[in-house]
Structure formats: C-alpha cells, structure tokens
Amino acid sequence: MPHLPRVPDSKPAYTLGKGTASPLGRTHQLSSNESPYGPLPSVTEAIQAAGLEANRYPEPGCVRLTEALSRRHGVPYDHVALGPGSATVTQQLLNAICEPGDEVIYPWRSFDAYPMLADVARAVSVRVPLMGDDHDLDGMLTAITPSTRLVIVCNPNNPTGTVTRRAELTAFLDDVPENVLVVLDEAYREYAQGADFPDGVELYRDRPNVAVLRTFSKAYGLAGLRVGYLIGHPEVASAVCGTMVPYAVSAIAQAGALASLAAEDELMARVDEVVKERTRVRETLISWGWAVPDAEANFLWLRLGERSRAFGELCARAEVAVRAFDGEGVRVTIGEPAANDAFLTVAATVDTWS
Ligand SMILES: *Cc1c(COP(=O)(O)O)cnc(C)c1O
C-alpha cells in the first residue's frame, strides 16, 4: 500500500447534507430553497445544444455571459466576476483577500456555508447574533477590529427570510471603515418585492468597499448547473477572477444562464407565483396561531426551539423534507402548491406550538 499524504487535522472538512430523497421518490423537497420549476423550454434547448459540444472546453473567461450580465446590470465588464455558484465566488473572494487570522464578520444564524468558507480560507469567523430574526447592524459595526477584512450582510437572510431595509443598510455602509469590504449576499433578492428593499447593485456604485453576490441557483432555477457572480469594483472583481480555477463554470452552465437571462420575464412570473404561495402559507400558519416572521425570500422560518427536530421528523414521515436546525428552528422552502399543501397538512396536526 502506498502511503497517501495525510490531510492535516487543521484543514476544515466539507460536510455534505444527507440525501433526503425517499425510496418512492415522492418526497416534497422543501429543504434547500430551490425553485420548484424545471428549466423553461428555451433554457433546456440551450443546455442541450451546449451538451452536444461537451468534448470542448468552455469559452475561456466566460466572455459572453460576463458581457450579458454587464449589460443586464448596467455595470462595466470588469466589475463582473463569475464562478460555479455564488458560494464558490465567496470562497474565491475569501481566499484572495484573507491572510490566516484575518477576521470575517457575518450574522448568525445565517447561511451555513459562511463558517465553512471562512475556515477553508483560514480566516477567523466572528459571528454576530441576530437581534430577534434580523441583522444586528450596530453589533456588526462594533465587532469590526483592525483585523477585520470583510463583513457579510445576507439580504434577505437565510434562514429567517427577514430583510435589512434601505435606510438602515445605507447608514451602516456609511459607518463601515473604507478598508473593510462589505459583501451583500443577495441570493434571494428577486423574492423581496417591498419598495424599501435595497438594491446592492445601486449601493455598490459609489462605494469602492461594497460588492454584491448574485446567483442563478434560486429565482433563476439553475441550482444544479452551478453559476453565480459578484459585482464589485475592479480590484474586488479581479481578485475573484484571479482565484477561479480555469474552466470552473461549465459551458452548459454558461448556456443555461444566458438563456435564463433572455427569459427573465417568464422567470419573474414564476417568482411572483412563489411569492403568492409564500403569503398563503404564512397567513394560514398565522391564522392557526403560529409565529412566522415576515419573510421576503422563498422560504419561511419557524422558530420552534427545542421542538425543531421533532417537527422536522414529523414532516419527514409525511414525505415533506424541510430543514431543521436543532434547538433553533425549521426552515421550510415555498414550493409548488401541492408541496405547500402537504406541508400545511402536517402543520395542521400540531396544535400548540406557539
Ligand atoms: C443558496 C444561497 C447561495 C447561493 O449558492 P450557490 O452557490 O450560488 O448555489 C448564496 N447565499 C445564500 C445565503 C444562499 O442561501
């Protein structure tokens, strides 16, 4: 047996979630905030066409998609940096700008990839607890030290679905020192339709230390293809490009993303359907006495504390996969009406949760 190099214990390990598909394949997938809709016909066609050339490497530099995004957002070409999903873009960014021991501030509970991404970059995670279900922006400001390189604002926040509004966010950005980068993770922004929801792409323009993350995984329904991007000033965008493994975004992913941009109206009509369902599910739960924060993403947060795991198991037995955070709460994705009804059927059996 050859001796394989050992992975040092100090290296963080990725842990993947267990598959939740049932043997019967009937499970309603409400655990990963995916879109319930398959790709549009025009997108499927583009994906198939790209698949016929799978013997070729993708176009170097993702030029066409980068151009399309720069036009779509009205930003210069060198302000856009692509990667295989926006979580990986975050990884590229952290790897580029963090020296071991540098601090990364993020809210908590929030996207559970943040701690892992910070660990992989050997940065120190500074978690600022939510205030209720919202970001504690003052707490995040106070947490900034000379070692802080980056602050993440997740808007809307995963898993609470709550939103940081324009006035609060702008005041916060005005107070963050210029040498600290603020990353606005807007993975769910299409679902946030309130008039005072801030648009990161507007906020970053005259702020060199602000960057925005967007993804094709959620509202655009391409989670399986892996494509996301950052919009930021050239030093930030080029740091992300410089740490991307060549050809990491496949030609199929680029083709799917381009076709989805061309079909935005149809995709946003689907988003509207999900938002309607979100309102229906939330109002139904509230009418039964549940406490459900006002959410502007494609999921709802049920702060069930010690009962979270039991409720998650109850849902699983009814073939509804939700995401339970032990001791904290349960996040349920809004899916197609039948899946949401299946979830509500379980919730209806539970009397006195709140
Ligand atoms: C789903 C999600 C992402 C996007 O992940 P991809 O890598 O683009 O699939 C980013 N941020 C948050 C908060 C998310 O929930």
CATH number at residue 310: 3.90.1150.10
Per-residue pLDDT band for 200 (boundaries 50, 70, 90) equals very high
**Residues 84 and 203 placed together within one structural domain of the fold:** yes
**Lowest-confidence pick of 23-37, 139-153, 163-177:** 23-37
Q: Are 102 and 119 in contact (CB under 8 A)?
A: no
Output the domain CATH number for residue 163: 3.40.640.10
Q: Are 322 and 32 in contact (CB under 8 A)?
A: no
What average pLDDT is seen over the chain? 93
The residue ranking higher by pLDDT, 300 or 9, is 300
- Asked, for residue 61, whether it belongs to a domain, the answer is yes
Q: Which residues contact 205 (CB under 8 A, 6 or more apart)?
A: 75
pLDDT at position 41 is 97
> Ligand 1 atom 2: the closest Cα is on which residue?
187
Name the percent of the chain lying above pLDDT 90. Answer: 89
33 CA → ligand 1 middle, Å: 9
pLDDT at position 26 is 79
87 CA → ligand 1 middle, Å: 5
CA–CA separation, 64 and 66 (whole Å): 5
Residue 41 is inside which H or E element, if any?
helix 41-51
CA–CA separation, 265 and 320 (whole Å): 30
Q: Which of 205, 230, 262 is the last residue of a domain?
A: 262
pLDDT at position 17 is 46
Pocket, ligand 1, Cβ cutoff 6 A: 33, 85-88, 111, 154, 158, 185, 187, 215, 217-218, 223, 228
Give residue-wise pLDDT tens across range 243-259: 989 999 999 999 999 99
**Residues 154 and 285 placed together within one structural domain of the fold:** no
pLDDT at position 351 is 72
**Residues 234 and 288 placed together within one structural domain of the fold:** no
Residue 56 is inside which H or E element, if any?
none
CA–CA separation, 20 and 265 (whole Å): 32
Per-residue pLDDT band for 25 (boundaries 50, 70, 90) equals low
**Residues 165 and 179 placed together within one structural domain of the fold:** yes
- Asked, for residue 19, whether it belongs to a domain, the answer is no
3 CA → ligand 1 middle, Å: 37
Per-residue pLDDT band for 354 (boundaries 50, 70, 90) equals very low
pLDDT at position 9 is 61
pLDDT at position 176 is 98
**Residues 152 and 229 placed together within one structural domain of the fold:** yes
Give residue-wise pLDDT tens across range 273-294: 999 999 999 999 999 999 999 9
Domain span including residue 133? 41-262
Query: 18 pLDDT exceeds 80?
Result: no
pLDDT at position 1 is 53
- Asked, for residue 182, whether it belongs to a domain, the answer is yes
187 CA → ligand 1 middle, Å: 6
Count of structural domains within the chain: 2
Per-residue pLDDT band for 5 (boundaries 50, 70, 90) equals low
> Ligand 1 atom 14: the closest Cα is on which residue?
187
**Residues 220 and 292 placed together within one structural domain of the fold:** no
**Residues 212 and 131 placed together within one structural domain of the fold:** yes
**Residues 271 and 220 placed together within one structural domain of the fold:** no
> Ligand 1 atom 1: the closest Cα is on which residue?
187
Q: Are 126 and 152 in contact (CB under 8 A)?
A: no
Q: Which of 231, 262, 293 is the last residue of a domain?
A: 262
Q: 76: which 2 tokens?
A: 């210069």
- Asked, for residue 57, whether it belongs to a domain, the answer is yes
- Asked, for residue 13, whether it belongs to a domain, the answer is no
**Residues 84 and 65 placed together within one structural domain of the fold:** yes
- Asked, for residue 104, whether it belongs to a domain, the answer is yes
- Asked, for residue 288, whether it belongs to a domain, the answer is yes
Q: What is the mean pLDDT of residues 307-319?
A: 96
**Residues 252 and 315 placed together within one structural domain of the fold:** no
Give residue-wise pLDDT tens across range 325-351: 999 999 999 999 999 999 999 999 987
Q: Which of 239, 262, 285 is the last residue of a domain?
A: 262
Give residue-wise pLDDT tens across range 151-199: 999 999 999 999 999 999 999 999 999 999 999 999 999 999 999 999 9
Give residue-wise pLDDT tens across range 53-86: 999 999 888 999 999 999 999 999 999 999 999 9
- Asked, for residue 145, whether it belongs to a domain, the answer is yes
**Residues 257 and 339 placed together within one structural domain of the fold:** no
Query: 24 pLDDT exceeds 90?
Result: no
pLDDT at position 12 is 55
Q: What is the mean pLDDT of residues 288-311?
A: 96
276 CA → ligand 1 middle, Å: 22
pLDDT at position 13 is 56
**Residues 318 and 203 placed together within one structural domain of the fold:** no
CA–CA separation, 51 and 323 (whole Å): 33
